[in-house]
Amino acid sequence: MLELTDLHAYYGKSHVLHGVHFSVQAGEIVALLGRNGSGRSTTVKAIMGLVHGTGQVRFKGQPILGLKPFEIAHRGIGYVPENRDIFPELTVHQNLMLGEKAGAKAVAGGLAGPPGQTRWSFEDMYKMFPRLRERQHTEAGVLSGGEQQMLTLCRTLMGEPELIMIDEPTEGLAPKIVELVAEYLRELKRRGMAVLLVEQKLTIALEVADRCLVMGHGQIVFEGTPAQLRADAAVRKEWLEV
């Protein structure tokens, strides 16, 4: 579904990614791991057209590198940024409405339906995060950081992406909210969503991922199953542990 070949990325003259190769298949959750500064967030930003990159990025067989972010989103890639972009003066429900795919209609039970219908409904969002239901008429700007993260995650799903990239969804959240986000990821897995997850909390990544990628110095230095990563103490010590 998503394939990166020899991806390089730059911030001005600073060369950040050095030939990144990997793929994400339909229905697969891939965890992109590594220390701060390893290039994880730059990778998803380059895929989304937010950072200048060279090489090849293909989605469903079509090249997307060089397209504008909104064009990439229209192709079916959703992106949940680390900084929790919400519209602070709009209510929770209005934020979700802005994320809704144009022309989509809700399907009972939130299951995939015929073309033009959606597999994710407002009810799905409120069921996953009951706190959003309680605050659906509240301006998003007064929500807590955890509530804003919930809202950002749900708003992205309302756009019906075929693949969703999530950057550090549990960063800075209380343990109770972290568990809610983990359940959200498990729900995506149950629904067969393709997910590229950037995460520092190894326990969550190892629980939900089908494959793990470890980045170091702008390159992929390990690829394998969660079990293989658990068993490879040398990789964890050199590239993950503080």
pLDDT, one tens digit per residue, over 172-209 is 888 888 888 888 888 888 888 899 999 888 888 898 89
What is the rounded average pLDDT of the residues 65-93? 92
**The pLDDT value given to residue 103:** 56
**The pLDDT value given to residue 177:** 86
What is the rounded average pLDDT of the residues 85-98? 94
Residue 48 or residue 169, greater confidence: 48
pLDDT at 117 over 90: no
- Contacts of residues 37-40 at CB distance under 8 Å and 24 or more positions apart, as own/partner, are 38/215, 38/216, 38/217, 38/218, 38/239, 39/9, 39/215, 39/217, 39/218, 39/219, 40/167, 40/198, 40/215
Q: Is residue 83 very low, low, confident or very high in pLDDT (cuts 50, 70, 90)? A: confident
Name residues whose C-beta falls within 8 Å of residue 66's C-beta, 6 or more positions apart in sequence.
49
Rounded distance between C-alpha atoms, residue 227 and residue 29, angstroms: 15
Rounded distance between C-alpha atoms, residue 220 and residue 159, angstroms: 30
Rounded distance between C-alpha atoms, residue 24 and residue 207, angstroms: 17
pLDDT at 53 over 90: yes
Predicted TM-score (pTM) above 0.85: yes
Residue 181 or residue 24, greater confidence: 24
Rounded distance between C-alpha atoms, residue 196 and residue 206, angstroms: 13
Alpha carbons within 13 angstroms on the beta-carbon side of residue 189 total 17
CB 153 within 8 A of CB 184: yes
What is the rounded average pLDDT of the residues 55-65? 96
Rounded distance between C-alpha atoms, residue 152 and residue 164, angstroms: 12
Residue 194 DSSP SS3: strand
Residue 108 or residue 128, greater confidence: 128
**The pLDDT value given to residue 154:** 93
Please choose, from the candidates 121, 4, 99, the residue with its C-alpha nearest in 3D space to the C-alpha of residue 55.
4
Q: Residue 217: which region, alpha, beta or left (left: phi > 0; alpha: psi -120 to 50)?
A: left
pLDDT at 110 over 50: no
**The pLDDT value given to residue 173:** 84
Q: Which helix (H) or strand (E) holds 59?
A: strand 52-59
How far from the centroid of its chain's Cα atoms is residue 222's Cα? 20
Please choose, from the candidates 80, 5, 20, the residue with its C-alpha nearest in 3D space to the C-alpha of residue 214.
20
Work out the percent of the chain whose per-residue pLDDT is above 70.
Answer: 93
Rounded distance between C-alpha atoms, residue 196 and residue 91, angstroms: 28
